[in-house]
Amino acid sequence: MKYLLRGSLFFLIVLVFPSLPAEAVVYHPLPKVEHPANNPWSIEKFELGQKLFFDPLLSGDNTMSCESCHKSDKGWVDGLPRAEGFQGMELGRNTPTILNTGFMKFQFWDGRASSLEGQATQPIQSPVEMNQNIDELIQELRAQSDYIQLFKKAFESEEITIDKIAKAIAVFERTIVSGTSAYDRYWLGNKEALSPKALRGMSLFFGKAKCSICHTGPFFTDSQFHNIGVPPLKNKDKGRKEVTGEIFHEGAFKTPGLRDVNLTGPYMHNGIFTTLEQVIEFYDQGGVNDSNKSPFITPIGLNTHEKESLLEFLNSLTSDSGDTYQNTAEPSSIDPIEKKVPIPTKRVD
């Protein structure tokens, strides 16, 4: 609650004084990975979930696995504007990364699942995604002795159920987390970790560019839903409204996190932007006209150097080379540290 109140005050200052640089930033280190009480972590569940995640048996024609859309070598996305579903069908939304999803309050662009356990099996059963019948899947898994042993080790029973499948996959997915970035190293004491251009971009991010109104916290997301005026495709997507039925959720989608953001394109719920440069330009123009667009989305007026600086800062959120995404270790949780942002006095070309 104290972080929410502090953040709300900061957002108000940004809205009232949009031209002021961000002179104070609340740094949130990567938090500890937490597993729910009804699905605690174990190496046995992790190994079972990992095997299930990469196994094409989970699809109706045994050609698609979870990794087909969430590729471990592409920031856990597929690199396509819109997801490719069962037998090559193009779906209506971009594949969101599963990096750090274990920390998120909602899953999917529209937030229709509130946990990884609730999310894990929906694509498996969806006729347009993996199109697998759960009863048939369980029979296929039971036909393999290695799965029987893995379920027995993970759950102390050879019985295979959809609930156990979901729990095992969720345990694995919670270990897919971003590593330490240049941004973290800067706040942890290495003042050479960020270039002057990245520092200027950080000042813009938390100030004039208004990014931190929605992109806040350790993963740079408020876990809320906003209509930001994204250019629609042929058929406008109702977004969160499909889940809640609320008019104010028309065209609203979950705020994505920004750690490793340069690895997870294309961008937006419909994958309409290929590069981060296009995303920055979109926000600078204030989005397209939409009757339900968030009042936060207005033209900013960034110049070329400011756009380049903002991009440099976003790139600084990338995990350091050598850090692993499949990390079963739990990093220490540290209270946020309020520090001054040094703002370069000279323009950085």
H helix or E strand, kind and range, residue 253 = strand 253-254
Which pTM value belongs to this model? 0.87
CATH homologous superfamily for 2-33+178-340?
A: Cytochrome c-like domain (1.10.760.10)
Rounded Cα distance, 323 and 42, in Å? 22
Q: Contact, 325 vs 178, CB < 8 A? A: yes
- The residue behind tokens 């008019």 is 247
Give residue for tokens 């069908």: 89
- Which token pair is 268? 């937006």
Confidence of residue 217 (pLDDT cuts 50, 70, 90): very high
Residue 230 contacts residue 287 (beta carbons within 8 Å): yes
pLDDT in tens, 6-50: 444 444 444 444 444 444 588 999 998 889 999 999 999 999 999
What band does 325 get if pLDDT is binned at 50, 70 and 90? low
What is the architecture of the domain spanning 43-174? Orthogonal Bundle (1.10)
The pLDDT confidence band at residue 236, using thresholds 50, 70 and 90, is confident
Place 323 in a pLDDT band, splitting at 50, 70 and 90: low
Q: What is the mean pLDDT of residues 317-345?
A: 52
Question: Looking at the chain, how many residues does it have?
Answer: 349
Identify any residues that bridge with 62 across adjacent strands, giving them in sequence order: none
Which token pair is 131? 């199109």
Q: Tell me the domain boundaries of the chain.
A: 2-33+178-340, 43-174
CA distance 34 to 128: 32
> Fold identical between 2-33+178-340 and 43-174?
yes
Question: How would you classify residue 308: left for phi > 0, otherwise alpha for psi between -120 and 50, otherwise beta?
Answer: alpha
